[in-house]
Structure 1
Amino acid sequence: MVNLQTPHSGYQWDGSSQRFFEGWYYRVTLPADNQTFAFMYSIEDPAGGTPHSGGAAQILGPDDSYLCRTFPATDRFWGWRDALGLGHWGKTDLNTPPLYLEPAEFEHHIQEGYQGTATWHQGILHDPGSINLAQWQYEIKPVYGWGNTGSPQQSTAGWLSYFPIFEPGWQILMAHGLATGWIDWNGRRYEFTDAPAYSEKNWGRSFPQKWFWLNCNLFDNEPDLALTAGGGRRGVLWWMESVAMIGLHYQGKFYEFVPWNSQVSWKIEPWGNWQMQAKNAHYAIELTGTTDRAGTLLRAPTEQGLIFCCRDTMHGQLSLQLSELSAGQSQVILKATSSVCGLETGGGPWEETWHSS
């Protein structure tokens, strides 16, 4: 099996008491139901003892419905240092330090909590203010990490991401995978085999001021295609910069458009319309994402703790065009569309359209 583990897959916290957050994102899209489940996990100030210390689990469910649970006890969180693996225990009859459990053990001992690795994801969450309940178990077969198949996998933010120059760090863990298992959402059980799955993470000691994101790995008539694109204003040493990137995996090949090899431009409305273009020496790409849905407010780690500061939908319309450039000529090599694209804007201010290049 090809090793698809990306750099930065392990838990990044160094044990210090400085302000710190780390967040993980798992997603599975169900073609038969035209629905998506997105699971967002975070831990802030893991040393404990600050106003923001604690963890959370959020789920964006069918038709952009939402469930959130907080996990105040940081000592009930665990994360592997050298590979993707994390979990947080809420209600449990175990008094041992938290760690990865075999699936049946987890089911027996954990009444509320979650655990996830590169190949397995399970959990159970109750909303005490309502009757909402989510429970899930599925296995994951990674197909694409972040890079060409058969080659060493790449840092999403390039080699500089090995140093804490950029804040926050961002890493796509698995651009595309296949999930098999089940999710129970308020009593409705969704069963699936080889459904498109995705995962990413971010971490750091400071927080992005403003950002946008497009993500899709279920396209019409293109089963072997995965897109992640995004941008934001982030800290670089003592100044802020606006950066964006587009990454595409298609038929075993990775097409990367990043600031150090491409011109990337964007025009993002506060909500409803996302447009990006990028061009390098060999290829050009155009993306348009739109939605007429209101989207769902989600919480994200900020300087002020975990607060509602971003809006998402998993029902965006996406059109994508990839062209090959040769001898001054441009030839379209891929056109694709989807109606289950993830779209997000976050931070601010977002009073007007954000143009940049």
Structure 2
Amino acid sequence: MTRSAPSVRRAHINDRRAHRVRRVNTRAPALDVASQNVSSNEDQPSGQTSRAADDEDDADARKRAALAVKTPHSGYHRQVGTSRAFFEGWYFRFTLPRSAQSASLIYHVYDPDVETSARAGAGAQVCAPGGKYLYSETSAGSGSFEGASHALELGMTRGDDFFEVSSEGTRHRGSLTSAGEREDGPWGAGRAARSVKWDIAVTPLRGWGGGPGARMQSPAGWLTALPVFEPHWQVTMAHGLASGWIETDGERVEFSDCPAYSEKNWGGAGFPLKWFWAQCNSFPDYPDLSVTVTGGNRGVVVLPNVREDVGLIGIHFGDRFFQFTPAVQVEIAADAKYGAGQALEAAAVRWDVEWGRWSVSAVGKRYECSIEGTCADGDKSTVIRAPTDSLEDGMAPLCRETFTGVIVVSLWRLDDRGARVETIIDAAMSSTACLEIGGGPWVSPYRAVAEIRTPLGPLMGLPVDVNAVAKILSPLGDLLPGL
């Protein structure tokens, strides 16, 4: 944790309001994901309060684990006093495999330094186990929202409502209420929650990079620190273990050592016009596997009126990390098998996606992968609010996702002629994937090949040490917040 970063406001957050979670058995340097059992010890819904105090040693262990795999751009990217359109959003997912349920906590802030902005404000969304949804927002500016510039720590208070992510993302607490949603909207028929409370402890196991000793990565390399590929995107935790509880309208679900995941977006440009996304780190036969897939049509900041289709596949398998993007990147020296290995492949990423079917593949010089996702019409899905492509509008119900998608992942090593010579992952399957489409219109399948059209694309892979640059510039102030 960067001690000089502004701390998140703790007002209205105390032990009388925020229930404590039970003791979590997560001894810190346990970074061997293969040895972890990702099946959850989920309890049945209960109205009783868990009274066991959170052990200080466990909290310290979780924080050490977080710092060991901390990614670039974990902090809040707000440049205080800079009057420009700005958005930042955080997504946290907790999978409960045994009951085939999930919970997601989603936070956002808009235009904290633009006094005339109609969308200025901050808020939260909760997708709770069982399918209920809650949205809470303050539109009277974002003064109640605070975040740390160089740590994964943020929070907001509004009266008695609050949410807080603290200790480098290893502790999540909150209590939110809502007047509900329109019955004729996407959250009618009793799907809108009126109150959600939670207290969750997380032990990060993988950031966005290889195993212990590996350098954590940004998908767009060092250029992620510049307003070039906005909105930016960063996975902050590809895999972790979460224990705690979430209570929806008085019904509580407790869980222990369930798979956890987190990512974020930020920037001054509009959101992609159209996108898809898939994520899973709960494979019954591959407990050391985490997969994230995304693609979308975005504007190019440095080329006005130009749009490009961009996409990425990221796979963590034990200590190995495989990232497929269309841009050439520099590879970190890798062990031939399970060392702190990273394969950052310049690959042709292709997709054919529509609701019910996600087909994505990538072929690089040395590796090839295939991701196939499906969901049936009868599968439970939910609509969530997402940023729009406009710089004037705020959050809108533009996104549909399911937590019970089926995903199949395969990965091969290629020889010099491009032939498959080794099967690294053989059709790993899970039925608890999150599959998503957003934006639109989706009147036909979204078929594309990822490409980087900006002239700065070839520079993405240069080994620029952004933290060293920030240190040199530090006498001038915090010019690169968020690192």
Q: Any idea what SS the aligned residue of 1:75 has?
A: coil
Deviations 1:186-229 (A, max 9, x none): 22222122110010000111121111100011112211110111
Alignment match, 2:429: 337
Q: Bigger CA drift: 303-312 or 140-149?
A: 303-312
TM-score (norm 2): 0.67
Once the two structures are superposed, the pairs formed by residues 174-213 of structure 1 within 5 Å of their partners are 174-206=237-269, 207-213=271-277
Whole-angstrom distance in 1 between the partners of 2:439 and 2:179: 28
Q: Any idea what SS the aligned residue of 2:238 has?
A: strand
Alignment match, 1:94: none
Say if 2:137 is the partner of 1:137. Answer: no
Say if 2:313 is the partner of 1:227. Answer: no
Q: Any idea what SS the aligned residue of 2:68 has?
A: coil
Alignment match, 2:170: 119
Q: Bigger CA drift: 324-333 or 73-82?
A: 324-333
Detail structure 1 runs of 4+ shifted over 6 Å in the superposition. none
Once the two structures are superposed, the pairs formed by residues 278-357 of structure 1 within 5 Å of their partners are 278-292=362-376, 293=379, 295-302=381-388, 303=390, 304-328=393-417, 329-330=419-420, 331-334=422-425, 335-357=427-449
For structure 2, the 5+ residue unaligned runs are 1-63, 181-191, 328-345, 450-483
Question: C-alpha displacement at 1:62, in angstroms?
Answer: 2.5
Question: C-alpha displacement at 1:119, in angstroms?
Answer: 1.0
**How many pairs align?**
337
Q: Any idea what SS the aligned residue of 2:223 has?
A: helix
Structure with the greater alpha carbon radius of gyration: 2
Q: Any idea what SS the aligned residue of 1:222 has?
A: coil
Alignment match, 1:59: 126
Whole-angstrom distance in 1 between the partners of 2:296 and 2:99: 32
Which residue identity is paired with 1:23?
A: G
Whole-angstrom distance in 1 between the partners of 2:220 and 2:284: 29
Relative contact order higher in (CA < 8 Å, ≥ 6 apart)? 2
Relative to total residues, which structure has the larger strand share, 1 or 2? 1
Question: C-alpha displacement at 1:294, in angstroms?
Answer: 6.0
Alignment match, 2:359: 275
Picking from 88, 104, 112, the partner of 1:46 is 112
Question: C-alpha displacement at 1:63, in angstroms?
Answer: 4.2
Alignment match, 2:9: none
Whole-angstrom distance in 2 between the partners of 1:173 and 1:14: 20
2:293/2:313 contact within 8 Å kept: yes
2:202/2:241 contact within 8 Å kept: yes
Alpha carbons of structure 1 residues 30 and 254: separation in structure 2 relative to 1, 3 Å:
same
Cα RMSD of the aligned pairs, angstroms, is 1.5
1:263/1:278 contact within 8 Å kept: yes
Which residue identity is paired with 2:424?
A: I
Q: Between the two proteins, what is the percent identity of the paired residues?
A: 41
Q: Any idea what SS the aligned residue of 2:108 has?
A: strand
Alignment match, 1:90: 158
Say if 2:307 is the partner of 1:218. Answer: no
Say if 2:348 is the partner of 1:263. Answer: yes
Whole-angstrom distance in 2 between the partners of 1:62 and 1:131: 11
Question: C-alpha displacement at 1:124, in angstroms?
Answer: 0.8
Picking from 197, 209, 218, the partner of 1:147 is 209
1:11/1:84 contact within 8 Å kept: yes
Question: C-alpha displacement at 1:230, in angstroms?
Answer: 0.1
Whole-angstrom distance in 2 between the partners of 1:229 and 1:244: 8
Alpha carbons of structure 1 residues 131 and 296: separation in structure 2 relative to 1, 3 Å:
closer
1:64/1:314 contact within 8 Å kept: no
